[in-house]
Amino acid sequence: MDSTEGISHTGFHAGSSPAKDDTQAAAQVARRRVHTMSATLYPTLPHREPVAAPAARLVLKTDGTSRGLLDGAWWPRSRDLLSELPALTDVLDPLWGRITRIAVNPEHWLVIPREIPVSGHIVKVGWFTSEIDPHKLLLLSYGTGRFDLLVIPPGTGAESAARLLEAASDHDGPSLTASALIAAEAARHAVAATDQALGPYEAWSTRAAPRRCPRPSPDRPVRQGRPAD
């Protein structure tokens, strides 16, 4: 008789052994631990809702009042038309009809794009050099007509901006141009500043020799659009 005849072949099929099975089981446990650690070390970031843009700072004349030279005032947060105009049209479109075109004077707008995407449509942009007030924004709405807004410089203080917003929307006030309103507020601020008593350091500074300031080089606006028709 063969010496191996009485030995059972159970568990001795090709490629398997008790020791190998234990090794495979240990490897699977190790892989599960690695996967668990990976899930812990690199968690899925929570979904964040988009942040809404700040609402436009705007005051308009009430219905039924005489239009005069201005229909209201707008106080943008920057001179970036691409970022500022969408919030403005969100307010004006339901009131005046869809705004389709705007025009500005390039004196205070360094970059003037040809078109600006807003909620649901595109606004075409034009510019005038002398035909439009540097402190005014001209808007054309579909089927309604033309509107003119005073543009309050973004860096204006809150108190001055409040006075300008009220002056531009007051139908009983004087009919001043946008630049005239800005100049009047600047003169008022200058008078208020000169009425204050000078401190010792300020008084000494006024008697000191004047400093020579470098001659500024005016920034030329980047006009991507074309002159408005």
Specify the higher pLDDT residue, 5 or 190: 190
Please give the pLDDT value at position 224: 59
Q: Which residue has the higher pLDDT, 30 or 80?
A: 80
pLDDT computed for residue 112 by the predictor: 95
pLDDT over 90 for what percent of the chain?
46
Looking up tokens 């006075």 gives 163
- Neighbour-count burial of 162, counting CB atoms closer than 10 A to its CB (0-12 exposed, 13-18 middle, 19+ buried): middle
Give the mean model confidence (pLDDT) for residues 177-206: 65
More confident residue, 210 or 25: 25
Q: What is the pLDDT of residue 19?
A: 58
In this prediction, residue 189 carries a pLDDT of 79
Instruction: With cut-offs at 50, 70 and 90, classify the pLDDT of residue 68.
Output: confident
Between 10 and 137, the higher pLDDT residue: 137
For residues 213-227, give the mean pLDDT: 48
Of the chain, the percentage scoring pLDDT greater than 70 comes to 56
Cβ proximity of 149 and 177 under 8 Å = no
List pLDDT tens digits, range 100-122: 999 999 999 999 999 999 998 99
Three-state SS letters, the chain: CCCCCCCCCCCCCCCCCHHHHHHHHHHHHHHHHHHHHHHHHCCCCCCCCCCCCCCCCEEECCCCCCCCCCCEEECCCCCCHHHHHHHHHHHHHHHHCCEEEEEECCCCCCEECCEEEECCEEEEEEECCCCCCCCEEEEEECCCEEEEEEECCCCCCHHHHHHHHHHHHCCCCCCCCHHHHHHHHHHHHHHHHHCCCCCHHHHHHHHCCCCCCCCCCCCCCEECCEECC
Whether pLDDT at 38 is above 50: no
Tell me the pLDDT band of 97, cut-offs 50, 70 and 90.
very high
Q: Specify the pLDDT at position 226.
A: 55
Q: Is the pLDDT of residue 27 over 90?
A: no
> Which residue, 149, 154, 135, is CA-closest to 79?
154
Select the more confidently predicted residue: 191 or 183.
183
Q: Please give the residue that has the higher pLDDT: either 60 or 215.
A: 60
pLDDT at residue 151 is higher than 70: yes
pTM flag (> 0.95): no
Amino acid 64: pLDDT: 61
Alpha-carbon gap, residue 155 to 169, rounded angstroms: 20
Compute how many other C-beta atoms are within 10 angstroms of the C-beta atom of residue 165.
Answer: 20
Q: How confident is the model at residue 173 (pLDDT cuts 50, 70, 90)?
A: low
The per-residue pLDDT for 142 is: 84
Contacts of 163 (CB under 8 A, 6+ apart): 185
The 10 Å Cβ neighbour count of residue 130 is: 7
CA atoms within 13 Å, Cβ hemisphere of 75? 21
**Burial degree of 104 (CB within 10 A; 0-12, 13-18, 19+):** buried
